[in-house]
Amino acid sequence: MSFAGNPIYDGVMISARRQRAEAMVDRYGGVPTPDQWTGDPIVSRLKAETAGFLYHDVHRFAAEAAQKRARE
């Protein structure tokens, strides 16, 4: 699936985005806040445009992971 024709974003597979979301839930104890997102050691190394594209998926996946953990 192509996202806005961004070859860098397109190269980041969904499973990798889910894994990153799980790692962020572990690190921050829940869905990362905008400040946590921008200050994250990995995200802060990305171009702003790429980080913006990834934010939506990772944020959604982190919310799903946090809800799942709350039910367990």
Residues in the chain, total: 72
Greatest C-alpha distance within the chain: 38
Domain chopping of the chain, boundaries: 14-71
pTM of the model: 0.73
Burial class (CB in 10 A: 0-12, 13-18, 19+), 59: middle
pLDDT in tens, the chain (72 residues): 445 555 555 556 778 888 989 999 999 999 999 999 999 999 999 888 888 888 888 899 999 999 988 888
